[in-house]
Chain A
Amino acid sequence: GAVVSQHPSRVICKSGTSVKIECRSLDFQATTMFWYRQFPKQSLMLMATSNEGSKATYEQGVEKDKFLINHASLTLSTLTVTSAHPEDSSFYICSARDSGSGNEQFFGPGTRLTVL
């Protein structure tokens, strides 16, 4: 149980294009999902908290107009990186909290984004 999937696992795009990453909770409902970014040899940095049916809450320094988050259902959240630039290249990981249980977060496998 508690499986979270992400798609795509890897994406390479040209500078200026937009990229959408999907995060799905496969066997549980998640009213709250989280988007993290991880640079090499650094820890997970929370970008935003995604709440089903409402606007995402962004961490300080994260541009909400650049990183669009949509949490349209209890099992799906999407992160769209708009007008991507090489400095956006990173490992993006989502996590989900099981609405029916407690505080634990379960992570997806991550998406490696490379912007050329």
Chain B
Amino acid sequence: QKEVEQDPGPLSVPEGAIVSLNCTYSNSAFQYFMWYRQYSRKGPELLMYTYSSGNKEDGRFTAQVDKSSKYISLFIRDSQPSDSATYLCAMNSGGYQKVTFGIGTKLQVIP
């Protein structure tokens, strides 16, 4: 079993839809959770960074962490074609420990 599981998709949604992206993990020591956006042939861009359980909102993006279920989510409201990219979840136990990445979910927002 991988430490971090993420559905690779692809996920196609119409413009304006609410997108839900998810990851599950097995290591209960993980406390820091990140979401990255990666456009084709580019490096990942940090979107959201959260610590422990709870919600964090930034513009159209909301990150949720449920440590009891070992489940994290990223919601994108009013999705735009420019949101089309691969979204990677990532996490570590903090203290400058190695970051473990999900495989990434490919999202396509159709105009």
Chain B residues, CB < 8 A from A32: 96
Contact indicator per residue, chain A 24-46, by CB within 8 Å of chain B (1) or not (0): 00000000101000000111101
Q: Are B88 and A44 neighbours in the complex by a CB distance under 8 Å?
A: yes
User: Which residue of B8, B41, B46 is within 8 Å of A110 (Cβ)?
Assistant: B41
Q: Are B99 and A105 neighbours in the complex by a CB distance under 8 Å?
A: yes
B60 interface residue (CB < 8 Å to A): no
Q: Are A43 and B101 neighbours in the complex by a CB distance under 8 Å?
A: yes
Q: Are A107 and B94 neighbours in the complex by a CB distance under 8 Å?
A: no
Q: How far is the CA of A83 from the CA of B6 in the complex (A)?
A: 35
Contact indicator per residue, chain B 90-105, by CB within 8 Å of chain A (1) or not (0): 0010111011011110
Query: How many residues on the B side are at the interface (Cβ–Cβ under 8 A)?
Result: 22
A112 interface residue (CB < 8 Å to B): yes
Q: How far is the CA of A38 from the CA of B32 in the complex (A)?
A: 22
Q: Which of B61-111 contact A (CB under 8 A)?
A: 88, 92, 94-96, 98-99, 101-104
A–B Cβ pairs within 8 angstroms, 23 of them: A4-B43, A32-B96, A34-B99, A41-B8, A41-B103, A42-B103, A43-B88, A43-B101, A43-B104, A44-B88, A44-B101, A93-B44, A95-B43, A103-B32, A103-B49, A103-B92, A103-B94, A103-B95, A103-B96, A104-B49, A107-B36, A107-B43, A110-B41
Interface residues of B, Cβ cutoff 8 Å to A:
8, 32, 34, 36, 41-46, 49, 88, 92, 94-96, 98-99, 101-104
